[in-house]
Amino acid sequence: MASTKSRLPRNVTSTSLKDRIYQSVKWSLIIGEYFPGSVLSLRSLAKKMGTSTMPVREALTRLASERLLQSSVKRSYRVAELDPKRVADQFFVRARLEGIATELAVPNMTAREIDELEALSQMMEGDIESGNNENYIVRNYNFHFSIYAASQNEELFWSIERLWAQTGPYLAQVVRSQEMPKEWQLLHTQISRAIRGRSAGEAARLIEKDISWSISTFEAFTASEDKS
Amino acid sequence: MASTKSRLPRNVTSTSLKDRIYQSVKWSLIIGEYFPGSVLSLRSLAKKMGTSTMPVREALTRLASERLLQSSVKRSYRVAELDPKRVADQFFVRARLEGIATELAVPNMTAREIDELEALSQMMEGDIESGNNENYIVRNYNFHFSIYAASQNEELFWSIERLWAQTGPYLAQVVRSQEMPKEWQLLHTQISRAIRGRSAGEAARLIEKDISWSISTFEAFTASEDKS
DNA sequence: CGTCAACGACTGTGATCACAGTTAGAATAA
DNA sequence: TTATTCTAACTGTGATCACAGTCGTTGACG
């Protein structure tokens, strides 16, 4: 888990304990390591981290303020329960913001960056083929955020990342629990191809398509859950 | 002071101290009560609030995590110094998000809400006329956010509010230090009129125009500051 | 057997302390 | 006067404590 942290842009000197705990928990949320409704208590987390509760509570108040965790007074912190309206709202904003970021990014990306993108998309196709959902989740994150980083708009980048962490627990749960749809297989390759061709509008359209597929997959999943 | 609070019904005091301090500081940022570079130290703020440093530090870590304040290890919290690129990025995202929120809001707004909007815009015209910049800042906030609330997308609403708090210290500084441009006078009335006519696209376009005016006013201001 | 009150083990919150790193200003030297 | 050093007052960080509210379980009672 610690090795993946280097993917996230940050100030080089964020060595405080509270920051490391914050990053650690946030990453766990993004890759869906916690389930909706999971309880995160100060003392148990502190024990697990080998610290006092102090840095943990600062980390958790941060996460709660970014709406990644829910908290009410004197009740334990927990991963937000599934609220279809809320998740739909989040995906809606994600689609718009990620489309905008992609449009900005396309003219900025270097040939080397696009090569890496294409390599990633190849591996993601393989992950879908072999059903390696775990790898897919991480590579999908890296794929998207190497694009958004190229938008060179930090504010945009952070807004999107916050939303990913919010939708992470739900989406990852879906991706883990079932075979990934075959339609997903080509999409990311098409995206990197559109970027290579410098067609910003096309790339943005495909990114938004990617997200709308996520939505419908998610909705189909929750619908089937309700019946069981 | 503390003794009177404890006697109030519990639903009034149900919000924690840290939350109230958080809200208080955030509002101060939105209306530009703090200047770029202002230092907010735990102990001095705690003294001002009449509490220990504990709730203050949780409030400030929240604000820092939302990028409303800057913090580096063992250095005091401070309002971000002016970084033209960063502010431009923030305004860019604001324009897009607020345009989207407006488009969503227009079909949702009730006649009563639109009446209130129009009343606000009338008063804002008066504020510009009489040079009452202080009132204008607050009414402008209320005007915009009553629209964004009607988008009925909470995630969108919070994203925008966060950006307002980020740009607040810069923009408010400009608005306070000079006469407001006459062009601003009619804009908000036009916006409420477009909303009454249920033309979402037009309303969104005007909102984005409002923000782009903010940008250019801000840029003109910083340019003139550099020369002096 | 089923209901409900009460207990006990939890929860976050706020206060206070020790500590180490930062910083600004006074004292010293050139 | 100007530059530099050094100290003293400040900063956030982390640990620990007391406290009050929450919640699940147990045990008594109907």
Per-residue pLDDT tens digits for B191-202: 999 999 999 999
User: Read out DSSP for A48-82?
Assistant: HHTS-HHHHHHHHHHHHHTTSEE--TTS-EEEPPP
Nearest Cα of chain B lies from the Cα of A119 at a distance, in angstroms, of: 30
Share of chain A above pLDDT 70, in %: 92
CA-based max dimension of chain B: 56
Architecture category of domain A12-79 in CATH = Orthogonal Bundle (1.10)
Does at least one atom of strand C sit less than 7 Å from the CB of A85? Answer: no
* Average pLDDT over every residue of A76-87: 89
- C-alpha B173/C-alpha A204 separation (Å) is 36
Sequence ranges of the domains in chain B? 16-79, 84-227
- Note whether A65 contacts B66, CB cutoff 8 Å: yes
Q: How far is B63 from chain A (nearest CA, A)?
A: 8
Does A13 sit within 8 Å of B67, measured CB to CB?
no
> Has residue A4 got a pLDDT over 90?
no
Which tens digit of pLDDT belongs to each residue from B150-190?
999 999 999 999 999 999 888 888 888 888 888 888 999 99
Q: CATH topology for B84-227?
A: Four Helix Bundle (Hemerythrin (Met), subunit A) (1.20.120)
Fold of B16-79: Arc Repressor Mutant, subunit A (1.10.10)
Instruction: Say how far apart CA B33 and CA A47 lie, in whole Å.
Output: 41
What are B82-94's pLDDT values in tens digits? 888 999 999 999 9
B143 φ/ψ sector (left φ>0, alpha ψ -120 to 50, else beta) = alpha
Q: Chain D bases under 7 Å from protein CB?
A: 10-17, 20-23
Chain A residues with CB under 8 Å of B65 CB are 22, 62, 65-66
Cα A150-A166-B42 angle, rounded to 5 deg: 90
B66-85 residues near strand C (Cβ < 7 Å): 73-75
Residue with tokens 């912190």: A77
CB contact, 8 Å: B115 with chain A?
no
pLDDT single digits (tens) B46-72: 999 999 999 999 999 999 998 999 998
Q: How far, CA to CA in Å, does A214 sit from each of A124, A172, B105, B131, B202?
A: 15, 10, 25, 50, 31
For strand C, the positions having any atom within 7 A of a protein Cβ are 10-17, 20-23
In eight-state DSSP terms, residue A108 is: G
Residue nearest to nucleotide C22 (CA to C1'): B75
Q: Is residue B11 scored above 50 in pLDDT?
A: no
Q: If you average pLDDT over residues B116-130, what whole number do you get? A: 94
